[in-house]
């Protein structure tokens, strides 16, 4: 795997820190102490992802967090304060939860691959954020949970991402018990891809990002969209859909170039689309 070097910080402060290195963009949650997904932070993420989706230069996004927690999920203090509203908080709750749901869908629909880099606790909507990313790499001290049931609030929206990332019965175990699982269990459940010592986390994530960024951007865009679409189909529907996708992919410039390079024993040159 190739190394990623020369990081450039574009936003040294604020709720969301950007670091750009060639085709790899790192977004770091910076909302201490718990990196809660406040309205302001979620809006910042939406804005960043919208810009990334239309960028021909960025091929991989790394989603990381500062401090000792990856994310504690929704800002319960912010939400509770709105119980004094005339509607008991209904409108604010709907706005907050819908904003989060749209954020998770936006990650899934983003043309670029998204890697979650976790060092610490990812709980509730923070766990949902991990589950929504295409890949997840964590430290051996990281933990995960969906503890809503402990406070009378079932993690229904985190359930959507969790049940699509983890095995079904394991997802239900997390949702029904609200208990915290360690990194090894999270890997067994299918929630994370790799577990690494803390001192190597950045290095491993950077190498994954570099390898993915070296691939055809056309193929990555086509493949990511197809992966999530076929996953919701029946087996015959999925194959019918995938046949069409692969035919169109074969006709794309990068496939013609890549196959020609392979047969000619040379390195391919990808387009920027």
Tell me: the pLDDT tens digits for 102-126? 999 999 999 999 999 999 999 999 9
Looking at the domain assignment, is residue 259 inside a domain?
yes
Residue that terminates a domain, selected from 213, 228, 253: 213
Looking at the domain assignment, is residue 11 inside a domain?
no
Say if residue 110 is in the same domain as residue 47. Answer: yes
Looking at the domain assignment, is residue 7 inside a domain?
no
Looking at the domain assignment, is residue 37 inside a domain?
yes
Say if residue 183 is in the same domain as residue 246. Answer: no
Say if residue 123 is in the same domain as residue 196. Answer: yes
Judged against a pLDDT cut of 70, whether residue 4 lies above it is answered with: no
Judged against a pLDDT cut of 90, whether residue 2 lies above it is answered with: no
Looking at the domain assignment, is residue 9 inside a domain?
no
Say if residue 159 is in the same domain as residue 123. Answer: yes
Q: How confident is the model at residue 5 (pLDDT cuts 50, 70, 90)?
A: very low
> Are the beta carbons of 92 and 79 closer than 8 angstroms?
yes
Q: How confident is the model at residue 8 (pLDDT cuts 50, 70, 90)?
A: very low
Query: Which ranges of 166-200 would DSSP assign to H, the alpha helix?
Result: 168-177, 183-189
Say if residue 199 is in the same domain as residue 247. Answer: no
Looking at the domain assignment, is residue 5 inside a domain?
no
Say if residue 252 is in the same domain as residue 206. Answer: no
Supply φ then ψ for residue 106, to 5 degrees: -65, -35
Q: What is the CATH number of the domain that holds 259?
A: 1.10.12
> Are the beta carbons of 184 and 178 closer than 8 angstroms?
no
Say if residue 134 is in the same domain as residue 251. Answer: no
DSSP string, 5-65: ---EES-SSSSEEEEEETTEEEEEE--TTTT-B-HHHHHHHHHHHHHHHT-SS--EEEEEE
Tell me: the pLDDT tens digits for 18-69? 999 999 999 999 999 999 999 999 999 999 999 999 998 999 999 999 999 9
Average the pLDDT over 170-177 and give the result.
97
DSSP string, 85-103: STTTTHHHHHHHHHHHHHH
Say if residue 235 is in the same domain as residue 149. Answer: no
Say if residue 243 is in the same domain as residue 258. Answer: yes
Q: How confident is the model at residue 257 (pLDDT cuts 50, 70, 90)?
A: confident
Say if residue 61 is in the same domain as residue 142. Answer: yes
Expressed as residue numbers, the domain containing 238 is 216-264
Report how many helices (DSSP H) and strands (DSSP E) the chain contains, helices first.
11, 11
Residue that terminates a domain, selected from 196, 213, 230: 213
Looking at the domain assignment, is residue 234 inside a domain?
yes
Say if residue 69 is in the same domain as residue 155. Answer: yes
pLDDT higher at 10 or 251: 251
Q: State the pLDDT at residue 159.
A: 97
Looking at the domain assignment, is residue 152 inside a domain?
yes
Tokens of 231: 């996953």
- Domains in the chain, number: 2
Full-model pTM: 0.91
Residue that terminates a domain, selected from 192, 213, 234: 213
CA 146 to CA 128: how far, in whole Å? Answer: 8
Say if residue 111 is in the same domain as residue 232. Answer: no
Q: What is the CATH number of the domain that holds 128?
A: 3.90.226.10
Instruction: Tell which residue, 15, 17, 25, 31, has the closest CA to residue 70.
Output: 31
Q: State the pLDDT at residue 131.
A: 98
CA atoms within 13 A of residue 169's CA, in its CB half-sphere:
1
Q: Which of 17-31, 62-76, 247-261 has the lowest mean pLDDT?
A: 247-261
Q: State the pLDDT at residue 272.
A: 60
């Amino acid at each position: 795997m190739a190394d990623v070097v020369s990081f450039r910080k574009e936003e040294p402060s604020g709720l969301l820190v950007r670091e750009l290195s060639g085709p790899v963009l790192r977004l770091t949650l910076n909302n201490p102490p718990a990196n809660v997904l406040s309205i302001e932070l979620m809006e910042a993420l939406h804005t960043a992802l919208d810009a990334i989706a239309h960028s021909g230069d960025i091929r991989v996004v790394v989603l990381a967090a500062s401090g000792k927690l990856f994310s504690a999920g929704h800002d319960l203090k912010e939400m509770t304060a709105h119980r004094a509203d005339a509607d008991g908080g209904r409108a604010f709750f709907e706005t907050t939860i819908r904003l989060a749901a749209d954020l998770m869908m936006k990650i899934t629909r983003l043309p670029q691959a998204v890697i979650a880099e976790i060092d610490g606790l990812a709980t509730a909507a923070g766990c949902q954020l991990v589950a929504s990313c295409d890949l997840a790499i964590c430290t051996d001290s990281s933990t995960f949970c969906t503890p809503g049931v402990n406070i009378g609030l079932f993690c229904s929206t985190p359930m959507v991402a969790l049940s699509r990332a983890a095995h079904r019965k394991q997802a239900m175990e997390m949702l029904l018990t609200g208990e915290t699982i360690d990194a090894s269990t999270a890997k067994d459940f299918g929630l994370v891809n790799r577990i690494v010592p803390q001192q190597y986390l950045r290095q491993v994530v950077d190498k994954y990002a570099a390898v993915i960024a070296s691939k055809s951007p056309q193929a990555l865009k086509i493949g990511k969209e197809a992966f999530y679409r076929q996953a919701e189909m029946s087996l015959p529907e999925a194959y019918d859909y995938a046949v069409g996708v692969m035919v169109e992919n074969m006709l794309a410039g990068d496939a013609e170039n890549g196959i020609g390079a392979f047969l000619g024993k040379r390195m391919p040159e990808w387009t920027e689309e």
